[in-house]
């Protein structure tokens, strides 16, 4: 992903890392430190987007979506197309599901990482 990170977004990334939602915080606790056999980054700038969580090695993006995403369908569609064109696979989970069905979310991420499920 050399050259794809947007340096202008780095201050925003730092701020987002300091102010994560409860769902993002829980997900990060489960993704960090190679717990699923893959290294994830959080709030990673890519082109003009901020990726909630990304495993660059497996080109997998994990997004934690809150209610604001219901109103931004066109933006999310364009974002998804841009990421797919760059070779990424994208998993989206509602914050409610991350908080209340954590094990199912983690299983879906694990299966996507290890090639046992198409995203």
pLDDT in tens, 74-114: 888 899 999 999 999 999 999 999 999 999 999 999 999 99
Residue 108 CA to residue 115 CA, distance in Å, equals: 11
25 in a domain, yes or no? yes
More confident call, 45 vs 14: 45
Q: Given a cut of 50, is residue 1 above it in pLDDT?
A: no
Q: According to the model, what pLDDT value does residue 115 have?
A: 77
Look up the domain containing 96 and give its range.
7-113
Summarize the chain as % helix, strand, coil (round to 5).
50, 20, 30
20 confidence band (pLDDT: 50, 70, 90): confident
2 in a domain, yes or no? no
Quick: pLDDT tens for 39-69: 999 999 898 888 999 999 999 999 998 866 5
Count of structural domains, the chain: 1
119 in a domain, yes or no? no
Average pLDDT over residues 28-33: 96
70 confidence band (pLDDT: 50, 70, 90): low
Q: Which CATH number covers residue 63?
A: 3.40.960.10
96 in a domain, yes or no? yes
Q: Cα–Cα distances in Å, from 73 out to 22, 77, 79, 82, 96?
A: 23, 6, 10, 14, 18
86 in a domain, yes or no? yes
80 in a domain, yes or no? yes
32 in a domain, yes or no? yes
């Amino acid at each position: 992903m050399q050259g794809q990170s947007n340096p202008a977004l780095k201050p925003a990334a730092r701020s987002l890392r300091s102010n994560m939602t409860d769902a993002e915080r829980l997900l990060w606790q489960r993704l960090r430190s190679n717990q699923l056999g893959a290294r994830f980054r959080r709030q990673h700038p890519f082109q003009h987007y901020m990726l909630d969580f990304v495993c660059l090695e497996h080109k997998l993006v994990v997004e934690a979506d809150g209610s604001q995403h219901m109103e931004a369908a066109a933006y999310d569609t364009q974002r998804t197309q841009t990421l797919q064109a760059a070779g990424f696979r994208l998993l989206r989970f509602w914050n409610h599901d991350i908080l209340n069905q954590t094990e199912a979310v983690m299983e879906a991420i694990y299966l996507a990482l290890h090639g046992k499920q198409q995203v």
